[in-house]
Amino acid sequence: MRLGFALAAPPLGRKIAAALGPWAVSGPALTIGARALGDAAWIERTRARLDKSAQRLDGLLVDLALPIVGGTSLFRLVQTPAANALFQHLGEAGIWVRAFAEHPKWLRFGLPGNEAAWARLKAALVAFW
């Protein structure tokens, strides 16, 4: 399930809505989103967990000479001349990263979801280099 939203002043909100068009959100997504946004303790725990995972990803990428050029607590953007080959290699290992046609040296890495995924990512990156 995915749930996204934007908080904006009405003029900007109308522009965003016009650009996106109709975008239905399921009842369960609305219920879960409302509960999550109302739970300050959950928000703090989630932020701390995401920050810790992002730092862990930073360490893995930097240790393998993949310079981080951007990101958020949910992903990291790296720049490497080997982006296309690395994209192919990771895909063959069942690891999805985002490539950018307009920036062929960029790859976006999301945070692995569990320890097995962390181990798979590390093994695939080490095998590539």
Q: Rounded to whole angstroms, how far apart are CA atoms 54 and 73?
A: 6
Q: Count CB-CB contacts under 10 A for residue 108.
A: 17
Banded pLDDT at 54 (limits 50, 70, 90): very high
Is 44 inside any structural domain? no
Is 29 inside any structural domain? no
Q: Reply yes or no on whether the pLDDT at 52 is more than 80.
A: yes
Number of domains in the chain: 1
- Residue-averaged pLDDT of the chain: 93
As a whole number, mean pLDDT of residues 63-70 equals: 94
User: Which pLDDT belongs to residue 111?
Assistant: 96
User: Which pLDDT belongs to residue 41?
Assistant: 97
Is 45 inside any structural domain? no
Is 17 inside any structural domain? no
Residue range of the domain that includes 97: 51-128
Per residue in 23-43, pLDDT (tens digit) is 788 899 999 999 999 999 999
Q: What is the CATH number of the domain that holds 71?
A: 3.90.1150.10
List beta partners, residue 68: 78
